[in-house]
Amino acid sequence: MPPYTLAVAYPNVSDATFNHDYYVKTHMTMVERIFGSRMIGWRTMKIVATKPSHEKPLYNVLTLIDFPDRKTCDECLADTEAELVPDIPNYSNQQPIFLIGEPFGGDVGGFGKSLWGTLGGLQPQK
């Protein structure tokens, strides 16, 4: 079955701040420690444009975390309260929006083979 995805989106408002280095090196290391093998993997990106309007994106950072099922996703999300949520002010002055995606179509099995293979053999973070 395709993975459930937790999308964590940080608003791109005029006074938004975001420390990308801290987020990847410290915060996401905490995520890996807390979620452990319960998550399949994660990837994060700076949102740089919208199409077709090219207006300012609504979000400046988006992180996608994959889980094997909804129950595991919900359990991990509940585990964020003690350490992860209090860490947010260390890298951003914006509270993220959490979205849970339920798979319903697409070639998820071919995703890793095609996308990561195209990127020169890189593998998603785990």
Which residue has better confidence, 125 or 15? 15
Which residue has better confidence, 55 or 11? 11
- Contact assessment for residue 84 and residue 2, using Cβ atoms and an 8 Å cutoff: no
- Say yes or no to pLDDT of 117 above 70: no
- Contact assessment for residue 20 and residue 44, using Cβ atoms and an 8 Å cutoff: no
Query: Which class for 46: exposed (0-12), middle (13-18), buried (19 or more C-beta within 10 A)?
Result: exposed
Over range 114-126, report the average pLDDT. Answer: 41
pLDDT bin (cut points 50, 70, 90) of residue 47 is very high
- Say yes or no to pLDDT of 113 above 70: no
Burial 57-94 (b: 16+ CB within 10 A, else e): bebbbbbbbbbeeeebbeebbeebeeebeebbeebbeb
Q: Would you list the domain boundaries of the chain?
A: 4-118
Average pLDDT, the chain: 85
- Say yes or no to pLDDT of 45 above 90: yes
Report in angstroms the alpha-carbon separations of 42 from 16, 28, 70, 80, 108: 23, 9, 16, 15, 15
Does the global pTM surpass 0.75? yes
Percent of the chain with pLDDT over 90: 67
- Say yes or no to pLDDT of 104 above 70: yes
- Say yes or no to pLDDT of 114 above 70: no
Over range 93-103, report the average pLDDT. Answer: 94
Q: Domain 4-118 belongs to what topology?
A: Alpha-Beta Plaits (3.30.70)
Among residues 18, 14, 8, which one has the least CA distance to residue 66?
8
